[in-house]
Every structure is written in C-alpha cells, then in structure tokens.
Amino acid sequence: MDERKLAPLKPQVYLDGRPAAYFDRFHARARSHDPDWVYTFVRVVSYPYCRIAFRLHARNPENVPSSGPVILAPNHFSAMDHWFVGILLRRRVRFMAKSQLFKGPLLEFVLPHAGAFPVRRGHRDEEAITTALAILERGGMLVIYPEGGRSRSGQIGTSARSGIGRLALESGAPVVPVAVNGSERARNWRRLQFPAVTISYGEPLRFGPEPGAPRERQQAVADEVLATIRALHAELG
C-alpha cells in the first residue's frame, strides 16, 4: 500500500492526563451492564452506510460462536473497524476505546451505552484488563486489536501486544482471528473515496485457560494470533 494514497492521520496522543479514578464509573458500568438501545440505534443508523458506501461483505461469519465468551481479534487500519467487524454479526460486540474519546457529555453517554470501555494508553491499565475479563466471564464478545493502535501505513504490524494473549489465557475464551481488507482506505472518505471492505472470520483458536501464564507465554499466543490474521488477510489479496 502506497502511504501517499492514504489521507493522513492525526498525530498519536498516547497519554491521558486525567487520573485513573475518572474512568471508574465507565468500568463499573461495563462490568455489570450489556450494551443497550444506544448500540441498536447506532447499528441501525450505521448499517446502510457500511453496506452501501463500503460494499461491506463478510466471509465465514459462522466461525463466530453464537453464544458464550469470544474474543474477536482483527487487524486495525481505520476508526471504522469497530463497525466493520461487528455490524454484520447478530451478537453485540464490546470493545476497548482509547480514554481520550471519553470526553464531553455526548460521548461519555454514547460510548458506555454502546458497549465501549476506556483503556488508558501509555499506562499499564489493569482496570481495562479487569473489565475485559469481567465481560468475558459474563459470556460477552470482545473486540481486541492485537496490534494495539491503528496502523498508519496501511500494513499489518510486525509485532503484537501481549494483552490479547493474557486475556485468552486467563479467560480460556476462544479467539476468532479476523482479517479486515480495504479499511485502510476508508480514511479517504473526505476525498469521496469509498473502498470495498471485506471481513474474513477465521476458525476459532483456543489457548487456555492458563491463569498466571508468564509474559513469554502471553506474547507467544499474541504472536500466533497476529500471524493467523496476517495469513487470512493475504488470502483476501
């Protein structure tokens, strides 16, 4: 992918200066409540846009378990990936969102009710891990990007963050690798460019449970997940 063809992203801002306690109420809600009518509303409004503008198509959605805890593990090119990955599935997805988005009355209402919870990037955010595990324990479906943030180059990253390995091993939840193809060009919408986007759901991977697994084991699982995503993505061309 030629980066010159992609609209530039804003500079990354990793640190959120607000205290960790500011986000306690969002974690408390995420641990005890499922997404509500706001999720349904956003989904209904977004569905025609995703399906028509981006010709959104899913491959093998039947690989996603219909019940029980699940971790969806996609590559991450665009802010639209949350919608692309989950909007064609019957189940509601939950996802981490950078804490900087939880700002102002509107987003602080919409994001928690739509299934998101904050993660403080640049910190060892144990609250986000605890919330993710609580969601899985309640049988939820969680989207975790093995690469962490969005790829700025339009290419899948070469290394994974160990967090997804930790969640898979501690929860024992199956990990469904997901390849998102075309969304790197979704950022070009201001140029009136709307690429076709295809989502490919791989067969579930199982790794646990292995509570207390060492960091090396967590990293090995994360790397295996990312390698599977890369292979799925290569199949999409």
Q: Is residue 181 classed as helix, strand or coil in its secondary structure?
A: strand
Mean pLDDT, rounded, of the chain: 90
How many angstroms separate the first and last alpha carbons of the chain?
12
Grade residue 184 by pLDDT with cuts at 50, 70 and 90: confident
* pLDDT computed for residue 7 by the predictor: 59
Q: What is the pTM of this model?
A: 0.90
d(CA 32, CA 34): 7
Element (H, E) at 95: strand 93-98
Q: Look at the block and give the residue holding tokens 């499922």.
A: 34
Q: Is the dihedral of CA 146, 181, 203, 60 positive or negative?
A: positive
pLDDT at residue 220 greater than cutoff 50: yes
- Where would I find the H helices in the chain? 24-32, 37-48, 81-86, 105-113, 126-137, 163-171, 215-236
Element (H, E) at 143: strand 141-143
19-236 has which fold?
A: Glycerol-3-phosphate (1)-acyltransferase (3.40.1130)
Question: Tens digits of per-residue pLDDT, 136-145?
Answer: 999 999 999 9
Question: Tens digits of per-residue pLDDT, 16-68?
Answer: 889 999 999 999 999 999 999 999 999 999 999 999 999 999 999 999 999 99
Decide: 225 and 116 in contact? Cβ < 8 Å. Answer: no
Question: Tens digits of per-residue pLDDT, 65-90?
Answer: 999 999 999 998 888 898 999 999 99
Question: Tens digits of per-residue pLDDT, 122-158?
Answer: 788 899 999 999 999 999 999 999 988 776 667 788 8
Report strand pairing: 93-98 vs 141-143: parallel
Decide: 82 and 95 in contact? Cβ < 8 Å. Answer: yes
The residue ranges of every structural domain in the chain are: 19-236
Strand partners of residue 178 = 74, 201
* pLDDT computed for residue 107 by the predictor: 96
φ, ψ for residue 93 (rounded to 5)? -100, 150
**Would you state the structure tokens that stand for residue 178, as one six-digit string?**
């997901």
* pLDDT computed for residue 2 by the predictor: 47
